[in-house]
Amino acid sequence: MKAKKLWCAERVQRLMMSMFLLLILMLLAKGYSVAGLALLAFMSVMLFIHFIFDFCPSTVILQKIFGSCYCECKEENHENQL
């Protein structure tokens, strides 16, 4: 079941990715194309690793801090049985 938490690992990871892309766009707009393209290449490699191995280091670390958005809570299972 999907929990209704605002700050959970998967949502924070998507927020971080969007902010990272905005940083890349700002670098490219300011003329720092080498830095912007290097960060874009890094992000592309990390997304490819996530696709191939289904492993994302940032999600693993964020799950330890915030917890996962998907949990098997006892309350949710009990409510679904009623």
- 10-residue averages of pLDDT along the chain (82 residues): 75 94 96 96 94 91 88 55 50
- Identify whether 4 is part of a domain: no
- Identify whether 3 is part of a domain: no
- Identify whether 61 is part of a domain: yes
* pLDDT computed for residue 3 by the predictor: 56
In this structure, is the dihedral angle defined by the CA atoms of residues 49, 51, 53 and 55, taken in order, positive or negative?
A: positive
- Identify whether 1 is part of a domain: no
Which residue spans within the chain are E strands per DSSP?
none
* pLDDT computed for residue 73 by the predictor: 59
Count up the domains in the chain and report the number.
Answer: 1
- Identify whether 2 is part of a domain: no
36 within 8 A of 27, measured Cβ to Cβ? yes
* pLDDT computed for residue 1 by the predictor: 54
Write 42-47 long-range contacts (CB < 8 A, 24+).
43/17
- Residue 72 domain boundaries: 9-81
Angle at 67 between CA 19 and CA 72, to 5 degrees: 130
* pLDDT computed for residue 69 by the predictor: 84
- Identify whether 40 is part of a domain: yes
